[in-house]
Amino acid sequence: MDFVENELGWIPIHEKMEFLKQINRSGLKTSLLTNSYILPVASRSDFLPFQSSLPRDSILVMLYADETYSVPLSGFLLKQNSVKGIIRPYSLGTRNSRHMSGNLMRAAFYQARRDWNSKTIAMHFIWLSIGYLIMLRICRLRYLHRKFAKPSINGILGYTNLFSQTLRKRLELQGAGSLLTSESVNKKLNANRTGFIYFVGQRGKYPRQSSLYELKLFIRAKPDSERILILERTSFGGGSNSSLNSRKNAMEYIDVGLDFDYCLTPPGNYSWNTFRFMEAIVLGSLPLMSVPTICDPVDFPYLGVSTCSFRPWREIFELAERQTPDLRLEELLGLKQQICREIESVNIQIEATF
C-alpha cells in the first residue's frame, strides 16, 4: 500500500484491532468522515471484523489486483450499508461490450505467434476465451454498481511495497513521499545507461510467454544482443514479500532497471496493467507494450507513447531501436505527466465520494 500513501496521499487501514478501538471511541461519525477511511480488501474475511462497527456510508473499499473482477466479492461489498463505493486497480472500462470485443480481436491478431501449431492455436483460443469471460464479468460488475447506486473508482495499480522500500534504500532517500515526482529520485537516476531492453520476472502464462518468445527471436538477429537481458525467475520480479531472497531479487531488479533504456512489459494474468509498468517508469526505463492484450478487453489509456501501441511485438522492438535518447526521455516524461493527471483524477473521485 506504499503507492496509495506516497502517490495518492491516502492512508489505508492496516491494523484492524487499532482501528476497531478508534471507532468505538466517542465522536465516531465525525472521526470517520474527517479521516476518509479506505479499507484494503482481498476477501470477505478482511471486511467482516468491521461489518457491525461502521456507520452508514462511511468507508471506501479498495480491492487488491486479483479481486478486481470478482463478482461475488463485489456483490457482497456493495450490499453493505457502510460501503460508499469500490476502488479498483483495474478499470471496468469506459466503452460498450462491442468496443471491448473489438479490442480482444485486435489483440488476437497482433499477438499471433509465428510458429503456429496445435498447441499455440489452442492456447491462443483459450486466452481469447478468458478475455471474453473477463468482459462478461465487467458487464456484470457495471450492472451491480448501477443497481446499488455506488461508484466504481478506477484506481492505479502502482508499485509493490518491497519495490518502494528497496528503491529508497538503494538511492538513499530519506522519509516518505512520491517516487514519481520526487526531484531527489530524478537526480539519482542513471543518465548513462548501458542496456537496451530488459525483462526480469516470471515467465507467467501464455500472453507473457508470447512476448518473451518474440523478444528472444529479436535477440537472435541482433549482433549486439548482450545489450538485451532476459532474467527469468520463479518469483515476482520486484518481489512481493520481505523474505531475504525477495529482498536480494528486488535489489537486483532495481539495479537492472536503473541501467536499461527500455523494459519489456508484457501483460499479467488479467490485464495489461502490471506492477512492472509503474516500476519501470519510476526507474527511468520506458515500458514496451503491445496493447490491447488478448486477456484484457479494456482500453489502454496511454496511447500517446509510440512504444506502447497497437503493433506486433517485433515492430515495437524496432521502434525502440530507432528512437533517439531525447525522444525516449520526452515520452517517459509524457507518461509520468499522464499518470500524475490520472492520480489527480482518482483523488477528485475519492474526495467527491466522501
**263-275 residue pLDDT tens:** 999 888 778 888 9
Judge contact between 163 and 170, C-beta under 8 A: no
Distance CA 144, CA 75 (A): 7
Closest CA to 110 of 249, 330, 275, 308: 308
List, in sequence order, every beta strand (DSSP E) within 126-285: 152-154, 195-202, 228-233, 260-264
Judge contact between 310 and 284, C-beta under 8 A: no
Closest CA to 268 of 204, 311, 211: 204
Give the 3-state secondary structure of residue 107. helix
Average pLDDT in the 304-333 region?
88
User: H-helix or E-strand containing 41?
Assistant: strand 38-41
Which strand ranges, in their side-by-side order, compose the sheet holding 38-41? 38-41, 59-63, 83-88, 152-154
Residue 94 has pLDDT above 90, yes or no: no
Residue 312 has pLDDT above 70, yes or no: yes
Give the 3-state secondary structure of residue 279. helix
**What is the residue type of 215?**
L
Residue 238 has pLDDT above 60, yes or no: no
Judge contact between 270 and 276, C-beta under 8 A: no
pTM to 2 decimal places: 0.88
Grid coordinates representing 133? Answer: 469471460
Q: Spell 272-311 as b/e; 16+ CB within 10 A means b.
A: bbbbbbbbbbbbbbbbbbbbbbbbbbbbbbbeebbbbbbb
Distance CA 67, CA 90 (A): 10
Residue 143 has pLDDT above 90, yes or no: yes
User: H-helix or E-strand containing 164?
Assistant: helix 161-170
Supply the pLDDT for residue 14.
Answer: 53
Supply the pLDDT for residue 181.
Answer: 86
Distance CA 305, CA 286 (A): 9
Residue listed under C-alpha cell 511495497 = 161
Specify whether the backbone of 67 is left (phi greater than 0), alpha (psi in -120 to 50) or beta. alpha
Beta bridge partners, 230, equal 199
Residue listed under C-alpha cell 548501458 = 194
Grid coordinates representing 213? Answer: 518468445
Whole-number mean pLDDT of the chain?
Answer: 83
Percent of the chain residues topping a pLDDT of 70 = 88
Grid coordinates representing 73? Answer: 466479492
Average pLDDT in the 311-315 region?
85
Residue 352 has pLDDT above 90, yes or no: no
Distance CA 343, CA 337 (A): 10
Residue 242 has pLDDT above 60, yes or no: no
Residues 6+ apart with CB under 8 A from 336: 180, 181, 281
Supply the pLDDT for residue 244.
Answer: 60
Q: Which domains does the chain have, with CATH numbers?
A: 2-93+139-157+343-353 (no CATH), 161-339 (3.40.50)
Where does 64-117 have alpha helices with state H?
A: 71-78, 97-110
